[in-house]
Amino acid sequence: MAQYVIEYAEVLVSAGRDPAEQWALLRAQRTLMEAAGVKDDLTWAEFEADHGSPARAVEHAEAEYARNPNVVAADALAWALHRDGRDREALPYARKATATGWRNALFHHHRAEIERSLGRTEESRRSAARARDADPTFSADLPALARFS
């Protein structure tokens, strides 16, 4: 599964090792999935936002959100927009992603980073505190692990 390949690559990076083989495997998986007609815009939005092209991340996230407007897709779109330098557009999606009360550290971290980029210091502190409260062991260096744990 793509998520395991991404998780392992992030662990390699955090250990100071080269994840190039994992990224090559992931790209091959994407090619095979696309050839088989599989739409997995959520995975590719998250991957591109964290490790690739923010512009492509936005394309995938917008497609996913259009098909499935849920909190996970909202977070993916918020983060992709942020990584693409579009924080004003990102904030409403980050708010949607965190509005349900789900204690998801990654979603609150994403919101905190977007708020910080917009100069909303106090809001950013509150969102960062929610991320820590949701998961005191959360690491922004391992977003795939946070996403699926």
pLDDT in tens, 37-91: 999 999 999 999 999 999 999 999 999 999 999 999 999 999 999 999 999 999 9
Above 90 in pLDDT, residue 146? no
Residue 138 — very low, low, confident or very high, per pLDDT cuts 50/70/90? confident
User: How confident is the model at residue 144, as a pLDDT?
Assistant: 67
How far apart CA 11 and CA 5 sit, in angstroms, is: 10
Q: Give the number of other Cβ atoms within 10 Å of residue 63's Cβ.
A: 17
How far apart CA 137 and CA 149 sit, in angstroms, is: 11
Please state whether the predicted TM-score (pTM) of the whole model is above 0.85. Answer: yes
